[in-house]
Amino acid sequence: MINAYNGPLEKIDNYRWRIPKSFMVSMRVDGLIYANDKLIDSIRKDSALQQVANVATLPGIVKHSFAMPDIHWGYGFSIGGLAATDIEKGGVISPGGVGYDINCGVRLLKTDLFEKDIKLKLKELVYGLYYNVPAGIGSKGDIKISVKEEEKILTKGAAWALSKGYATESDIEHTEDRGVMEGANPDAVSERAYERGRKQSGTLGSGNHFIEIQVVDKIYDEKAAGIFGLSKDQITVMVHSGSRGFGYQICDDYAKKMVHTLSKYNIKIPDRQLACVPLDSEEGKLYFGAMKCAANYAWNNRQCLMHLVRQTFEKIFAKSSQALGISLIYDLAHNIAKLEKHVVDGREKVLCVHRKGATRAFGPNHPELPQKYKDIGQPVIIPGDMGTGSYLLLGTQAAMDETFGTTCHGAGRCLSRKAASHNYTVAQVKKELEKKGIAIMAAGKNTITEEAPGAYKDIDDVVDAVDGAGISRRVCRFRPLGVLKG
């Protein structure tokens, strides 16, 4: 089933590789992969590079079909992929290019606590999160919402949480797009998506989703760290979740529809999971309007999860969230499509940028950035596996010039779930984590082995590749202390 890639792959420099468009007649642009020598060996082992070539066949694609160093085999699009299409030239939008978990993303919270302050309370904190945050298969939230309320979430995003007292104005200010995409169209959402979404607000989910208590382990850029209010040994919390069943249903509904409209728009694709339509078409506008609803749902959901984290810390330390200095550094999406202005061949164009397992990484002075980060660039949060570490990076001008302001999104898997479950036992993984002083609670039975640190690429290699290529730069590295897995 796993087919290693045998097509052409040219080394451009230490961090860039090219799949020339001559590889397949239908390719419109080259494939461009960011990776170092070590990572490229692992990337070649599955079908991800073939998928990069397949994406290069999409109508209206500009520059390249990009892949980040954490790329791995997905369905249709690879995970860790970036594709931008030119609307003026019939550029398409593809539900598969966004992924099922629309606006899956991460948020990073800082606290004023240090490692010594939580050492004795760590287990209590992880248990506290376990009891306070609904997680795992089919988890349902304590935050009950009516149909009317759900519609508000879909159009207002994280502002819904603000109106209910689950957010501060500063949280909203430090969320990508201020936690809302304008133009969400609740009428484009199926009844089934509503049904799946209603029960799951304020839930973490299962699989690779998590809440992690971390400590600042290493600082690479003191000045930027200072702007974030971070210093060595300080405690942070990372939340990784998405739009839950709501986004899945939207992706499924529209991928199904678009398989049937391929001939209408004369689109030929090598894999049905790449099904797409011109963004300017009726179907394209409907999907985009529905996708925005899911993006807004996810921003609100991560905000509700942050509220539950705040409550847990407040209870265990018997202090207010303000007294504990809990605030949001940033929240961002890594599965999304957006209309953005970028310069292509010297001309500013409006592009539909698909980031699937890739993170926006806008450089300094971009108008979309919060005032506080104008001079340094957009914060980029890169979660690693639960035993190794995570990073805070910054977007760069080079990313704006080369990758439509985009970088990697995480460690990226290198082992299948089957292989991971075969290679590790729950006791073994727990013991290994305990040896490193990491406390873990998991809602799902298989999560611990399937998400074992060894199932992922080395996060340090991935970050080395994006930093080396210049499409983002390191600020600090975090070490995990306590993990709640879905």
Partner 1 sequence: MSFYQLLEHTADLGIRVWGRDLKALFINSASAMYDLIVDAKTVRPVKHIKINAKAQDRDELLKNWLSELLYYFHVKDTIFCRFDIVRLDEKNVVSIVMGEKIDKDRHSLQHEIKAVTFHALNIHKTDNRLSTDIIFDI
Strand partners, 72: 79
Q: Which of 209, 240, 334, 409 is catalytic?
A: 409
Residue 73 is a binding residue for partner 1 (CB under 8 A): yes
Residue 1 is a binding residue for partner 1 (CB under 8 A): yes
Distance CA 108, CA 86 (A): 33
- Long-range Cβ pairs for the range 263-267 (8 Å, 24+): 265/59, 267/59, 267/92
- Smallest separation (angstroms) from partner 1 to the CB of 67: 14
Residue 75 is a binding residue for partner 1 (CB under 8 A): yes
Stretch that binds partner 1, among 12-20, 122-130, 136-144, 292-300 (CB under 8 A): 136-144
Stretch that binds partner 1, among 111-119, 244-252, 329-337, 470-478 (CB under 8 A): 244-252
Residue 192 is a binding residue for partner 1 (CB under 8 A): yes
Strand partners, 65: 31
> Residue 154 is inside which H or E element, if any?
helix 147-156
Residue 245 is a binding residue for partner 1 (CB under 8 A): yes
CA distances from 455 to 207, 441, 466 (A): 13, 18, 21
Q: If you compute the radius of gyration of the chain from its CA atoms, what whole number of angstroms results?
A: 21
Q: Give the tokens for residue 353.
A: 């940028």
Residue 58 is a binding residue for partner 1 (CB under 8 A): no
- Smallest separation (angstroms) from partner 1 to the CB of 195: 5
- Smallest separation (angstroms) from partner 1 to the CB of 442: 13
Q: Give the tokens for residue 63.
A: 């520059």
Among 5, 67, 79, 70, smallest CA distance to 30 is for 67
- Smallest separation (angstroms) from partner 1 to the CB of 239: 19
Stretch that binds partner 1, among 81-89, 135-143, 147-155, 338-346 (CB under 8 A): 135-143
Distance CA 360, CA 350 (A): 16
Residues 483/309/169/163 CA torsion (nearest 10 deg): 130
Examine the residue annotation and report whether 409 is marked as an active-site residue of this protein. Answer: yes
Q: Which is nearer to partner 1, 128 or 410 (CB)?
A: 410
Residue 15 burial by CB count (10 A; 0-12/13-18/19+): exposed, middle or buried? buried
Q: Which is nearer to partner 1, 62 or 442 (CB)?
A: 442
x/- map, 396-435, partner 1, by CB under 8 A? -----------------xxxxxxx----------------
Stretch that binds partner 1, among 11-19, 107-115, 176-184, 268-276 (CB under 8 A): 268-276
Residue 135 is a binding residue for partner 1 (CB under 8 A): no
Residue 65 burial by CB count (10 A; 0-12/13-18/19+): exposed, middle or buried? buried
Q: Give the tokens for residue 6.
A: 């045998």
Residue located via tokens 């993170």 = 359
Residue 252 is a binding residue for partner 1 (CB under 8 A): yes
- For partner 1, the binding residues in 138-177 under the rule CB under 8 A are 138
If one counts every other C-beta atom within 10 angstroms of the C-beta of residue 129, the result is 27
- Smallest separation (angstroms) from partner 1 to the CB of 192: 6
x/- map, 434-463, partner 1, by CB under 8 A? ----------xxx-----------------
Among 76, 85, 86, 69, smallest CA distance to 32 is for 69
- DSSP summary character for residue 78: P
Q: Which residues are catalytic?
A: 409
Q: What residue ranges bind partner 1 (CB under 8 A)? A: 1-2, 46, 48, 72-76, 79, 100-101, 136-138, 192, 195-196, 205-207, 245, 248-249, 251-252, 255-256, 259-260, 271-273, 275, 413-419, 444-446
